[in-house]
Amino acid sequence: MLAIIGGTGFYSLDNVEREQEVDTPFGKPSAPLVFARIEGSEVVFLPRHGPGHRLLPHEINYCANIYALKQAGARQLVAVSACGSLREELAMGHFVIPDQYFDHTRGRRRLSFFADGIAAHISTAEVADPALTAGLGKAAQAAGATVHERATFACVEGPRLGSRAESLFLRDAVRADIVGMTCVPEAFLAREAQLCYATLAIVTDYDCWHNDPNRHVSVSQVFATYGESLATARRIVSALIADGLPEIDPKKRCALTDAVITRPEQLNPSQAKIMEVLQA
């Protein structure tokens, strides 16, 4: 089953069949899970910022969100997110499907499922699922969107917008292509949960690296551009499903193989249940 995480302005789906209140060992997710039909297929949906956009990026319970979606039966996940462009050619209203993520957050977010008696170290050399990102790219073209692939997403802490020095650092030193506040630790947690993950990022602004201050990011600009692009984002997701979700490569769902150090017999029942869900 495909899971969809909705970012800023993407708070609901059509053709809803049911909603489900859930709890997890990591607390409650951002909102009840919503099960709906898109192109005849069941999907599970979660608005990242909660109903009415009440949660700032650092307040989101990413562990609960990913765990709840995996526990509900999701095996592939498309996360829609607003982003700022660090490259002239990635213009406002364009879509970007990154394959790399750079963590520039500040440690206020829980970054891993593994702690408190469970030790593991997963590889994150390849976080985004190649088949799912390729499928998204094809769907974006079918939906008539301008799309860029093979990009690096730099995630910052927020909630403030970045300084010009930070924007230039991410563009020139990190060589990131886009910047946002929400795909970390989400992408890495999806990897730990052995979910096939991809980000569909909507370019809403040029951050603040431009010499022209009139082109610097503002909240009003973000919402305006993102709102105009949401209909296209929904068409892209529909096209992805209509074309048939990419076949899951079992080798891409084995992040925990040889990554878990703690032996099963050392786990208590609660820890064993967590591992059962993550390894499913």
Task: For residue 252, give both structure tokens.
Answer: 């891409």
Cα–Cα distances (Å) from 146 to 201, 210, 232, in that order, read: 12, 22, 10
Q: Which residues contact 147 (CB under 8 A, 6 or more apart)?
A: 94, 95, 96, 97, 137, 140, 141
Buried b (16+ CB within 10 A) or exposed e, 62-95: bbbbbbbbbbbebbbbbbbbbbbbbbeebebebb
- Is 96:205 a contact under the CB 8 Å cutoff? no
Active-site hit among 205, 212, 249, 258: 205
Active-site hit among 207, 212, 249, 258: 207
Cα–Cα distances (Å) from 7 to 54, 62, 118, 132, 226, in that order, read: 12, 13, 31, 19, 10
Q: Are strands 95-97 and 196-205 parallel, antiparallel or unpaired?
A: antiparallel
User: Is residue 205 annotated as a catalytic residue, yes or no?
Assistant: yes
For residue 77, the 8-state DSSP code is: E
256 CB burial (10 A radius; 0-12, 13-18, 19+): middle
Calculate the dihedral angle through the C-alpha atoms of 152, 154, 155, 160, rounding to the nearest 10 degrees: -140
Angle at 61 between CA 181 and CA 65, to 5 degrees: 100
User: Is residue 207 annotated as a catalytic residue, yes or no?
Assistant: yes
List residues with catalytic annotation. Answer: 205, 207
